[in-house]
Structure 1
Amino acid sequence: MSQEPSRHDARRRVTELIRDARIGMLTTIALDGRQVSRPMGLQEAEFDGKLWFFAYADSAKVRQIRVNPEVNVAFSDQRHHAWVSISGTATEGYDRARAEQLWNPLLKTWFPDGPTTPGLTLIKVHVSSAEYWDSPGGAVVSLLGLARAAVTGQRPEPGGKREVRY
């Protein structure tokens, strides 16, 4: 049985996994109660328990966050066979200094005037917990586990799932 990572090591691993994935699926709650997910590009910032995203202040996701700030952001890194699910509370607001600090030229596709694009806002997710799954052996281990399960009829051992509280 493998030893559980320390809280510090688990947080470090979450940081590595989300940086490698770069695109997360932000899930909010629509006004009618449905869950709505959309891809969002994570901004490169020192991960300190907060995730940052650019958005338009009049977008549906921002309206949904204003009504119900509980969100989830899921990341998938297929190259490394890793997944992260982050739960937290989102807030939105424009901070020009922060927008300039986080700005990436690739964002010009969506925000043509850069950090001064009219209607631009920032979504900040305060992370409360994170779960991650990673397969240190990669696809071969995962496929072997599935093959063994098919032959023996036993469920495969769960991957390296860890939960981290912030």
Structure 2
Amino acid sequence: MATKTLHELSETMRKIDFCTLFTRTEGGALAGRPMSNNGDVEYEGDSYFFTYEEARTVSDIERDENVAMSFRGNEGLLGKPPIFITIEGKAEAIREKAQFEAHYTKDLDRWFEQGTDTPGLVLLKVHASRIHYWDGEEEGELTV
């Protein structure tokens, strides 16, 4: 039974910079790659990530919008186990500069030197449908 709320999970996810985003390749295999949420987690079921147009992630999503994400939090106090969060959802590739501006942070300049004017920049939006978490001996599932 889920005891954590979506807001509580959002606060936890804000502290986890990287997740693994899984897509389905053209051949049907699962492909995972690390993605930074950059602290952009006012989480109500949507996650945003920047990438390049030529990344296989984009073509995978345009062929099959079903994706999964996996987050792992840091160890808690007094040896408490870390939290694990998995999310299933649907993804889309966004190419609108106004959306780039809404989700871009200066920390991304490390990968995208021209900011939101970087040629080939794409914003990925993942809308969650199901969230499962394990936090020590507690586990739960939410639908969004």
TM-score, normalization: structure 2?
A: 0.89
Q: Aligned-pair distance for 1:11?
A: 1.0
Unaligned runs of 5+ in 2: 77-81
Choose between structure 1 and 2: higher strand proportion: 2
Q: Mean alpha-carbon deviation: is it higher for 100-109 or for 66-75?
A: 100-109
Q: CA deviation at 1:78?
A: 2.4
Q: Which has the larger radius of gyration?
A: 1
4+ long deviations beyond 6 Å:
none
SS at structure 2 position matched to 1:21: coil
Which residue number corresponds to residue 165 of structure 1? 143
Q: Deviations over 1:65-115 (max 9, x none)?
A: 000110001000123311100000000011212211221222112111001
The CA deviation at 1:45 is 4.3
- How many residue pairs get matched? 138
Identity of aligned residues (%): 28
Aligned to 2:79: none
Distance 2:96 2:41 in 1: 15
Shift of 1:4: 4.8
Contact 1:17 1:84 in 2 (8 A): no
Q: Does 1:47 align with 2:47?
A: no
Aligned-pair RMSD on alpha carbons? 1.5
Letter matched to residue 52 of structure 1: Y
Q: How far 1:10 moved relative to its partner?
A: 2.1
Comparing both structures, which one devotes a greater share of its residues to helix?
A: 1
TM-score normalised to structure 1 length? 0.78
